[in-house]
Copies of this chain bind each other. A is one copy, B any other.
Amino acid sequence: MAEPETMNQLNPAPFYLDCDTGIDDALALAYLIATPRANLVGIGTVSGNVSAAAGARNTLDLLKFAGHPDIPVAIGAHDPQNGVFRGGAPHVHGDNGIGGVDLIRSQHQPVQGSAPELLVQLAREYAGELRIVAIGPLTNIAEALRMEPKLPELIAEITVMGGAALAPGNITPVAEANFANDPEAAADVMAADWNMTLVPLDVTMTSVLEESHRQELLASPHPVSRALGEMLGHYFGFYVEIFGRPCAAMHDPLAAAIAVRGVEPALAPTIRVEVDTTSGPGRGQTVCDMRGLYVGYPDQRGARCRVVLSIAEEFPPHLLSTLQADRF
């Protein structure tokens, strides 16, 4: 676990973000810039909600808009480990990935190396301190593990948004999108021996922004918050079929907030997790051993992954107050 002194706000820990920007990725990115609890030292992109290249463009433009144009952004894997990228989720995130909102184009370009290369470089530079927040498919992280097998020793901890423990999936009945988009990479990442926290649909689907929250963002004096509110209009539209009302699950921002200790898990057992890499109906599922349900989920022998099932507070107030704290 993190040493408390490394997480304080005077000396925030260095973070690498791996993302597929994406509307909720945009919110997570804005959160990581706005929070005093993180020092965002590098970002890699991966195909997921949009292509890795489009995600990098969105990320660069958001960084410029948020006043941090110099954070290095590296383009990562276009295709999943054992397949080809299928075009993302424009019905969820809009054709440009950020709900059709036009940001001013940053003049900054992605760095030369790939996202896995950037991650390995930062892991060595910040050995023992770097924290990973992975909110897209895990293709880049798995590639970085192959490039540097000692990565788990170099990394302080990794927080992964993805999977579903007892909650339904969101791509298939049992599979969540990030894991389903690259089950083989996810399996490699989950099998590595590092300090890992999984933030699955069980908790992200109960961390929901409502229309009142969106209106608060739209009325904000901060341009970044207003742009995020605009993007959410598209995202809210998608969620009408899921929740029966305009709103949106805060998958990626919640993972970011848990990673920086902005919110604390309430129920988060350390349990065995296996990724289904078959071609059957469970492909991409996180097979979490939840059999401790009836006795309060004791930690399991041989388990490495902390699975967050609930958090100690309502998430939207924390997210909104952080985004609007005038740190951009």
A279 to B280 alpha-carbon distance, docked (Å): 9
A71 within 8 A of B: no
A2 within 8 A of B: no
A179 to B279 alpha-carbon distance, docked (Å): 19
A295: chain B residues at CB < 8 Å are 242-244
A287: chain B residues at CB < 8 Å are 172-174, 281-282
List A residues 274-299 near B (Cβ within 8 Å). 274, 276-282, 285, 287-291, 293-295
B282:A279 contact, CB within 8 angstroms:
no
Min CB distance, A287 to chain B, in Å?
4
Known A-B contacts A168-B166, A242-B295; the reply to A282 vs B278 at CB < 8 A is yes
A121: chain B residues at CB < 8 Å are none
B243:A291 contact, CB within 8 angstroms:
no
Q: What 0/1 readout, one digit per residue, does chain A (187-229) give for beta carbons within 8 Å of chain B? A: 0000000000000000001000000000000000000000000
A279: chain B residues at CB < 8 Å are 278
The answer, among B244, B274, B293, for a CB contact under 8 Å with A294, is B244
A289 to B285 alpha-carbon distance, docked (Å): 13
Min CB distance, A262 to chain B, in Å?
25
List A residues 67-83 near B (Cβ within 8 Å). none
A310 within 8 A of B: no
A137 within 8 A of B: no
A242: chain B residues at CB < 8 Å are 291, 294-295
| 8 additional contacts (CB under 8 A) given A242-B294, A280-B280 | A166-B166, A168-B290, A173-B272, A174-B282, A243-B294, A244-B294, A274-B281, A276-B280
Pairs of residues from A and B, 6 with the lowest C-beta to C-beta distance, nearest first: A282-B282, A278-B280, A278-B278, A173-B289, A168-B290, A281-B287
Q: List 25 A-B contacts (CB under 8 A).
A: A166-B166, A166-B167, A166-B168, A170-B291, A173-B274, A173-B289, A173-B290, A173-B291, A174-B282, A242-B291, A242-B294, A242-B295, A243-B295, A244-B294, A244-B295, A274-B281, A276-B278, A276-B280, A276-B281, A277-B280, A278-B282, A280-B282, A281-B282, A281-B287, A282-B287
